[in-house]
Amino acid sequence: MIRYPNGKAFEHQAKVERKKKRTSEEISLSAANRGMNLENDINISLEYYREQNIALIYKRPTPINIVKVDYSHGAKIIDAYFEEQSTTDYNGIYRGMYIDFEAKNTKNKTSFPLANITDHQIVHLKKVKLHGGIAFFVISFQLRDEIYLLDSEYVINYYGSGKRKSIPYEEVKKNGCLIEIGYMPRLHLIEAIDTMYFSK
């Protein structure tokens, strides 16, 4: 690059840099939003299903360890900490069956990393299966705009084998069921559950 004494090239270059930065910020922001929105999209979809009496599935509240409560004006919690969910985020009932699942988001395009799944969750999902319930993961590949329902069996097997730290995207696609994205409900979760567990 030619450097002019008046600094115009610098300015131009700075503009280009700023534009690049903004664009990548916008992209990552929108991707982050999609990530943040997975939980929200599931919640509003479940609300729709509850209102329509289609399924009764709720998000479990985040467990909080309360250290101190101020009772001087009502009960105000003034010292507390988030605790790790020892189970999964969602459970309920659909067509008489117990339903239990965890939702995870990944920015990885080629595989679903198992890093953010806890041992507790795997143990819990194994037990759900043992007791005759339906247990799965909702996996969002946010850079692909694709969300899959994947039976927990696949995740448990990959997790337990210790060989791999992630499940290849192609495996999720092959063994999972694509969850259609719409308006009402936002995520067609029940259709995916029907296809996966009630179609035979």
Between residues 167 and 193, which has the closer beta carbon with respect to a copy of itself? 193
Contact status: 81 vs a copy of itself (CB under 8 A): yes
Between residues 104 and 124, which has the closer beta carbon with respect to a copy of itself? 124
Mask of contacts with a copy of itself, 134-173, x by CB under 8 A?
A: ----------------------------------------
Max intra-chain CA distance, the chain = 77
Contact status: 27 vs a copy of itself (CB under 8 A): no
Residues numbered 98-137 forming contacts with a copy of itself, rule: CB under 8 A: 98, 100, 124, 127-128, 130-133
Q: Nearest CA to 152 among 133, 174, 179?
A: 133
Minimum Å distance from CB 155 to a copy of itself? 18
Question: Residue 123: which residues within 8 A CB-CB, separation 6 or more?
Answer: none
CA gap 6, 151 in Å, rounded:
63
Paired tokens of 15: 């503009």
Q: Nearest CA to 193 among 90, 112, 94, 45?
A: 94
Stated length of the chain: 200
Calculate the alpha carbon distances from 187 to 40, 47, 103 in Å. 10, 11, 12
Contact status: 60 vs a copy of itself (CB under 8 A): yes
Q: Contacting a copy of itself (CB under 8 A), which of 63, 160, 168, 182?
A: 63
Amino acid sitting at position 167: I
Between residues 6 and 72, which has the closer beta carbon with respect to a copy of itself? 72
Q: Could you list the residues that contact a copy of itself (CB under 8 A)?
A: 50, 53, 55-56, 58, 60-64, 74-82, 87, 91-98, 100, 124, 127-128, 130-133
